[in-house]
Structure 1
Amino acid sequence: MNILDKIVAQKKTEVARQQEFVTIDKLRKYDAYNIEVPSLKKHLTDGKHNGIISEYKRKSPSKGIINNISTVENVVPLYEKAGVSGISVLTDSEFFGGNKSDLIAARKVTTVPILRKDFMISSYQVHEAKAIGGSAILLIAAILSYDEAHELSKLAKDLGLDILMEVHSKEELEIVNPLVDVVGVNNRNLKTFEVSLQQSIDLAAAMPNDVVKISESGIYTPEDIFLLRENGFQGFLIGENFMRTKNPGEACIEFSNAIK
């Protein structure tokens, strides 16, 4: 069993337990559930923002602790000041040290679209993403069938959420459905956790020209951004590069100034 299989198995247990604790009917009563949220796709394509989706995360299965000091309240407002197109917040606790309360806190201190970064396998999680203030959900092609992804996508659209579909191969592009707003190429192999920007470059040629493309993981320098832009990418998900610093928000501002 690889790390992705372990995460999905754990997620199924977590979701089943959470549904007993907080029902969908209860989620519908949350304030954020009935509030319109900003669109991630629009912020990636409006020409006013820099295309970066900056990430708030504490740890990862491959790197261990990344940053367990910086708080959402300190980091997220500076991400917005940097002109980012979106902010990704990890809500997986077991493997990434995240929490749904991180996204709730982020929503309170920013007007930027927030991506709920988690391993989405259930319609319950989509309702939950809406209830805690998310603007978009992440769907990982590697763990979903076409029908499963389409069902989750339809619910997300019904709730006013954008969909970011993450792929790792040409074969996984077949799972992308017409409802998907953004397609992201994860440069990290979720089975081996090796990283290469070449993965984005190779897949870009196989993606339709009208698709909003973002590259995820392994982006460390302004030169990486310039290379990806040349290959048709409009968005760049960056987390570890900022979160490993003493001041992630300021690091994001400095990086953003360098790619103007």
Structure 2
Amino acid sequence: MLIRRRFPTNTNYTLASCEDQPHNILEKIVWHKEQEVRQMQTQLSFRELQTQLQDFPRNQNFIFALEQSFLKPSLIAEVKRESPSKGIIRDNFDPFSIAVAYEQGGASCLSVLCDRTFFGGSFTYLQAIRKRVSLPLLCKEFIIDPYQIYLARARGADAVLLIAAILCDRDLQDLIDLTHNLGMEPLLEVHSFSECERVLNFMGVRLLGINNRNLEDFTVDLSTTEELMNAYGEEFSQRGIKIVSESGIFTQDDLERVAQAGVTAILVGESLIRQPDLEQAIRDLYHDQFSTYKTCHSVSLPI
């Protein structure tokens, strides 16, 4: 699947006419994002944005943080208010207290939704959270333009999400290179065998996300992680690519299932964000590991 564009700058995209309707929710989001990025550049020019990066603090090492966690797989906890498929997930949404609770609960990294229209996120949230917590931050956005990567860096991101389904090969490689040049880590997201084949042809792939959510109809199936790891796990390991399983992880059984598949980390949003006590929610998800850690170490945990 490769999403059509309304205003492509690269001839490798299929062009949709103004009369066409989007084939799925992902295409609808991308079409809106094309207009949004144009509008953003009228409010803050690309030159002004680049100026903001001067003397900016060095980024944190996102992958290193995942590798050092005592939780296995390590946790990327997501700050998320809503989604197109589930609507409002957390009514009393305070992104700053959520981020702090995740950090205190033992998360290795945070994912911050920056799309406003469909997920209720904001780059302002990203910037404010950067000032509140010390964990590495992932900018969770539908990135289609270099401008968004510069903006993510300027607002404090240490990593950015690049979705294979919405980017042609040429743009995907260029955005990988740009992300590295700005000192960040790209998390390349795939959800099919064909997308895995594509991504393995790129240079500089160190972190790969397997999305268990079908991006056309938003259904979720953990077997996506299992099947792709079964097919490509050995190659991922040989190339030193760290794998993140995304979406659909709600219980200890779910956690153990993707852990058995061999992933490095999990990205969890909805199942945590719905809980009133976020620290307890992490403890419940990793219950056996926290119990073992307490038994083996006479030190207090971060929760």
Note the C-alpha offset of 1:25.
Answer: 2.3
Q: Secondary structure at the residue paired with 2:231?
A: coil
CA distance in 2, matches of 1:151, 1:78: 36
Quote the Cα distance in structure 2 between the aligned partners of 1:24 and 1:174. Answer: 33
Q: Deviations over 1:181-232 (max 9, x none)?
A: 2111100001011101001000012322232011000000112112211111
- Of 44, 48, 57, which residue of structure 2 is paired with 1:26? 48
Taking a change above 3 Å as real, the CA distance of residues 48 and 248 of structure 1, as seen in their structure-2 partners, is closer
Distance in 1 between residues matched to 2:189 and 2:100, nearest whole Å = 26
**Which residue is 1:133 aligned to?**
156
1:11 aligns with 2:41: no
Residues 1:190 and 2:223 are matched in the alignment: no
The sequence identity of aligned pairs, in percent, is: 36
Query: Is 1:78 the counterpart of 2:101 in the alignment?
Result: yes
Q: Matches of 1:255 and 1:62 in 2, distance apart?
A: 23
Change (3 A) 1:38 1:205: same
The number of aligned residues is 260
Counterpart secondary structure, 1:218: coil
- Secondary structure of 2:111 counterpart: strand
TM-score by length of 1: 0.95
Structure 1 or 2, whichever has the larger Rg, is 2
The offset of 1:49, in angstroms, is 5.2
The structural deviation recorded for 1:178 is 2.4
Quote the offset at 1:68 in angstroms. 3.0
Bigger drift between 37-46 and 217-226 goes to 37-46
1:41 aligns with one of 52, 56, 63: 63
Of 167, 179, 194, which aligns to 2:204?
A: 179
Contact 1:70 1:247 in 2 (8 A): no
Q: In the alignment, is the contact (CA less than 8 A) between 1:83 and 1:256 conserved in 2?
A: no
Give the corresponding residue for 2:231: 206
Which one of 244, 247, 253 corresponds to residue 277 of structure 2?
247
Q: How does 1:116-131 map to 2 (within 5 A)?
A: 116-131=139-154
What secondary structure, in the 3-state scheme, does the structure 2 residue paired with 1:54 have? strand
| TM-score w.r.t. length of structure 2 | 0.82
Q: Could you say which residue in structure 2 is the equivalent of 1:161?
A: 184
Instruction: Report SS of the residue matched to 2:115.
Output: coil
Unpaired runs of 5+ residues, structure 1, are none
Moved more, 231-240 or 173-182: 173-182
Alignment match, 1:98: 121
Going from structure 1 to structure 2, the CA distance change for 1:183 and 1:157 (only over 3 Å counts) comes to: same
Match of 1:109 in 2: 132
Q: Which secondary structure does the structure 2 equivalent of 1:34 belong to? A: coil
Checking the alignment, whether the CA contact within 8 Å between 1:242 and 1:251 is kept in structure 2 is yes
2:4 counterpart residue number: none
1:147 Cα deviation (Å)? 1.1
For 1:179, give the aligned amino acid: G
- Higher mean alpha-carbon deviation, 35-44 vs 2-11, is at 35-44
Mapped partners of 2:190, 2:151: distance in 1: 23
CA distance in 2, matches of 1:137, 1:165: 9
